[in-house]
Amino acid sequence: MDSAVHARGGVNESVALRLAHAFRRHGVDTVFGQSIPSAFFLAAPQVGIRQATYRAENAGGTMADGYARISGRVGVVTAQNGPAATLLVAPLAEALKASIPIVALVQDVARNTTEKNAFQELDHLRLFDGCTKWTRRIDHVSRVEEMVDLAFVQACSGRPGPVALIVPADLLTETAAAAETRKADLGHFPLDRSLADPSRIREAARLLASARAPLVIAGGGVHASGACAELAALQQDCHLPVATTVMGKGTVAETHSLSLGVVGYFMGDGARGRALRPLVTEADVVLLVGNRANQNGTDSWKLYPPNARFIQIDIDGTEIGRNYEALRLMGDAKLTLAALREALLVEGVERRAQARAGVEGQIRAGVEDWKSFTQRIRDSDRAPIRPERVMQLLDGMIDADTVVVADASYSSIWITNYLTARAAGQRFLTPRGLAGLGWGLPLAIGAKLAAPDRKVVCLAGDGGFAHTWAELETARRLGLDIPVIVLNNQILGYQKHAEDVLFGAHTEACYFQPVDHAVIAQACGCHGIRVDDPAMLQEALTEAFAQKGPSLVDVITDPDARPPVTFYDNTYPSPF
């Protein structure tokens, strides 16, 4: 076959090769998968798609998630039918809740064996129904490119999310007799941008311009829209204070004089934002941008002021007003924020400009209060090591281009409070859709493959890291320079501390036997070092950052160390 014809999708190709062509047309250059669908992976290199092989499907789905978040392209993961496919449920559910576009390509049993108890046969349409936006099965050669296009459109349009394509094993080896002429690249998000109603934008501008104490709270939708520059311009030019959710961290620089940092359920004792809580609770006009107003972000719906007027920008109209009745600005955050800034400047921002110095002073005083309040513990030489000490050193080692990835639970809260977003658009990846343990390292692997020239750092607790130890070998095999910091306190911290608050006792399941994670890293051929002396911590982190390939620092941390969750206030004695 002529190579030029072959490259653009020639005649008499297998369906597997036609699938590969279709995926490549949508910008896919990396697919996370093991050997199956074998026919697809044997064809993929012919069109320039590389295979990133995971150890377990749940980790592979999370790698695709991390890849999508950093690249702005759809993450693609594959799996075999049956038990392998079931392991995709958790990462796809996370992506659904966090609005991350993923296409899962799942091989099914041959068509002539369905409903006959074929090996590992399962109803995959029902399996994925609750954890994807859209799931379809391709049963005919003539529908391949059409169904692939539909899958990418579903993943990237409106509120992004995961989809699943089910392909029978025998279909993959059939011949696709005629090439299609489709050329569209549908693998980027947002796929379509829409502007909110201009009359409502003008109304929102009037509300913000005349407000006594306005506040913007930005969520992960700002990152998904690529709207960080527009939000930063609104903050600066219209003199508006901006807070973020955890997923919205980095949408504005936390070094900006009008940035509160992250707000939510961890504004308790020792939190960066503890003294800034009144700026939230006393706001009279609140602009929510790409922010679902979920339980954690609102401290169980107790943080946001009940009598404020809310304005909500979201691509998903069903999210607007879900928890707080709001002026509806349904549209893309990037376009709508830019239009809102222009409308505000026309409306006049004199009142905001006059109030700016006072708001800046309140934020500055709050941050300085946090710094002085926590200084002793951030500099502590106690052993076991305090996580705050680890975070202070790590904050001094990252820059605005660094991608910081955290596992769920305490790891996400430590980076939220103790690491600084130095520029609008800096990325801090956390699994906050469902917040399941074990996502840290796979997210970092996906992020690093999406941005090989950027430093990617992973923070995990020992409980979460144990879910995905094996992916250290994946990182090594892929040649990825990822420093992994494990906060090893030998307990399930959140579970133990929450049980103590709720029940006055905790289950024995909260405790682990001692594990040397540095030895595990070394057994995988990675650099690994164990640190139990605070004086050795800086040297160990510096050495890990300098490694070629994955490295791991196993830090023995204080099991009594608790992040500043408001739920713990008035229950535990202050460590400060």
β-pair partners for 498: none
- The answer to whether 80 and 107 have CB atoms below 8 angstroms apart is yes
Cα(292)–Cα(269) distance, integer angstroms:
25
pLDDT digits (tens, 9 = 90+) for 19-68: 999 999 999 999 999 989 999 999 999 999 999 999 999 999 999 999 99
DSSP state of 260: E
Q: What percent of the chain has pLDDT over 90?
A: 90
pLDDT digits (tens, 9 = 90+) for 494-523: 999 999 999 999 999 999 999 999 999 999
Q: Averaged over 189-216, what is the pLDDT? A: 98
Return the pLDDT at 573: 65
Q: What percent of the chain has pLDDT over 70?
A: 97
User: In this structure, are strands 456-461 and 483-488 parallel, antiparallel, or unpaired?
Assistant: parallel
Q: How many other CB atoms sit within 10 Å of the CB of residue 430?
A: 26
User: In this structure, are strands 483-488 and 13-14 parallel, antiparallel, or unpaired?
Assistant: unpaired
Burial class (CB in 10 A: 0-12, 13-18, 19+), 86: middle
- Token duo for residue 287: 């602009």
Closest alpha carbon to 500 in 573, 435, 412: 573
Q: Which residues contact 508 (CB under 8 A, 6 or more apart)?
A: none
pLDDT digits (tens, 9 = 90+) for 451-475: 999 999 999 999 999 999 999 999 9
Going along the chain from its start, the domains and CATH numbers come out as 13-176 (3.40.50.970), 198-365 (3.40.50.1220), 380-568 (3.40.50.970)
Q: Is the pLDDT of residue 252 over 70?
A: yes
Burial class (CB in 10 A: 0-12, 13-18, 19+), 130: exposed
Closest alpha carbon to 195 in 326, 341, 335: 335
At residue 136, φ and ψ (nearest 5 deg) are -140, 160
Q: How many residues does the chain have?
A: 576
> Can you state the percent helix, strand and coil of the chain, rounding each to 5?
40, 15, 40
- The answer to whether 122 and 86 have CB atoms below 8 angstroms apart is yes
Q: Averaged over 426-439, what is the pLDDT? A: 93
Q: Averaged over 139-143, what is the pLDDT? A: 92
- The answer to whether 426 and 478 have CB atoms below 8 angstroms apart is no
Return the sign of the alpha-carbon dihedral for residues 246, 247, 248, 249. positive
Q: Is the pLDDT of residue 2 over 70?
A: no
- The answer to whether 53 and 34 have CB atoms below 8 angstroms apart is yes
- The answer to whether 89 and 128 have CB atoms below 8 angstroms apart is yes
- Token duo for residue 213: 């104490």
- Token duo for residue 535: 């004086």
Return the sign of the alpha-carbon dihedral for residues 326, 329, 333, 339. negative
Return the pLDDT at 576: 65
Q: Is the pLDDT of residue 9 over 70?
A: no
Q: Identify residue 78 by its one-letter amino acid code.
A: T
β-pair partners for 197: none
- Token duo for residue 321: 């007003």
pLDDT digits (tens, 9 = 90+) for 296-324: 999 999 999 999 999 999 999 999 999 99
pLDDT digits (tens, 9 = 90+) for 328-370: 999 999 999 999 999 999 999 999 999 999 999 999 999 999 9
Return the pLDDT at 116: 85
Sheet of 75-79: strands edge to edge? 50-52, 30-32, 75-79, 102-108, 162-168, 134-137
pLDDT band at 574 (very low <50, low <70, confident <90, very high): low
- Token duo for residue 257: 């004089």
pLDDT band at 4 (very low <50, low <70, confident <90, very high): very low
Mean pLDDT computed over every residue of the chain: 94
DSSP state of 231: H
Q: Is the pLDDT of residue 8 over 50?
A: no
CA distances from 293 to 255, 284, 382 (A): 24, 17, 38
Return the pLDDT at 1: 31
pLDDT band at 575 (very low <50, low <70, confident <90, very high): low
Cα(87)–Cα(104) distance, integer angstroms:
12
Cα(107)–Cα(122) distance, integer angstroms:
11
pLDDT band at 3 (very low <50, low <70, confident <90, very high): very low
pLDDT digits (tens, 9 = 90+) for 82-130: 999 999 999 999 999 999 999 999 999 988 888 888 888 899 999 999 9
What predicted TM-score, i.e. pTM, was given to this entire model?
Answer: 0.95
User: In this structure, are strands 214-218 and 175-176 parallel, antiparallel, or unpaired?
Assistant: unpaired
Cα(189)–Cα(45) distance, integer angstroms:
25
pLDDT band at 5 (very low <50, low <70, confident <90, very high): very low
